[in-house]
Amino acid sequence: MLGRRSDRRFRLTEPAHGVVQVFRDVVVHRYGGEWIAFGREPAVVGETLVLDLLDLEDGDPEGRFTVCVIESRPVIVDGEMRHRIRLHTDEAAAVLLEQQVRR
């Protein structure tokens, strides 16, 4: 009979490997094709992130962007340690990343 305990309701699949990272409390500023984010946690250079922007007044979504981390370094903001994360939105991010790695 369907729905009984002996009935197969699911099957196991191969496990997926990955990491989900959520940056909370991040302030983002846009300068041309670059975004500068200030947050409590560092980012991994070369990592691709999805940036969801919300309107601060009403909380409505403003847009979603795929960005590449081209720099992440600690800074002091208002007496507290934060991480300054440079993000780029287009294919030029890979070129900028290569230039940073060569230094």
Q: Are 75 and 30 in contact (CB under 8 A)?
A: no
Q: Are 97 and 103 in contact (CB under 8 A)?
A: no
Q: How far apart are the first and last CA of the chain?
A: 67
Q: Where are the domains of the chain?
A: 27-102
Model pLDDT for residues 13-61, shown as the tens digit of each residue: 777 777 676 766 788 888 877 889 999 989 889 888 887 877 777 777 7
**Which position has the higher pLDDT, 13 or 4?**
13
Q: Alpha-carbon distance 14 to 81, whole Å?
A: 41
pTM over 0.75: no
Q: How many CB atoms lie within 10 A of CB 33?
A: 13
Q: Alpha-carbon distance 55 to 59, whole Å?
A: 5
